[in-house]
Amino acid sequence: MPASEDKSDDGPLSTPDFGDAIDSVTFGQILEMDEDENDRDFSQSIVFGFFEQAEETFESMDSALEEKDLEKLSQLGHFLKGSSATLGLVKVRDSCEKIQRYGKKENEDGSPETDEELCLKRITETLKALKTEYADAEKLLKKFFGTEEEDDDEDED
């Protein structure tokens, strides 16, 4: 077994360092559910199920934003916050929490915000950031599972 594949008994399976995009400890707990570290079908199904769920939620968020439906945006933010937290997607979770708060007509700190247009503006900005954070996490996870589909749009030096 190559040194990079060496797994000792003094800790969880090796989990890559995803930087600040993904909490390695939380993601490692998902990986521990796999029956075999060389067979990641279970954890991969959870992660790819999340990808589908997130894409559908983004579509619903876009519609709710068009309709200026703050309550629906709050619910969608709450929903996606929970599933992203389960996988350790820290930045995605944090942005979803902001959307949840803004949808409840609250500031980031939970204090009331009566200006609905300001809340909608904040949601618009946060949703844009959220989609970027999600795309970054998705790319890292697809690389981890060896299922990268789109290498063509990267610059080749």
Question: pLDDT per residue over 11-41, tens digit each?
Answer: 444 678 899 999 999 999 999 999 988 899 9
pLDDT band at 103, cuts 50/70/90?
Answer: very high
Question: Would you say 130 and 92 are in contact if contact means Cβ atoms under 8 Å apart?
Answer: yes
Model pLDDT, residue 15: 72
Q: Which residue has the tokens 């068009």?
A: 66
Using the predicted structure, report yes or no on whether residue 50 has a pLDDT greater than 70.
Answer: yes
Instruction: Compute the average pLDDT of residues 90-108.
Output: 98
Q: How many CB atoms lie within 10 A of CB 47?
A: 22
Provide the pLDDT for residue 11: 43
Identify the CATH homologous superfamily for domain 19-144.
HPT domain (1.20.120.160)
Q: At what angle do helices 24-31 and 41-66 cross, to 10 degrees?
A: 130
Residue 82 DSSP SS3: helix
pLDDT at 69 over 90: yes
The packing angle between helices 70-87 and 41-66, to 10°, is 160
Q: What percent of the chain has pLDDT over 70?
A: 85
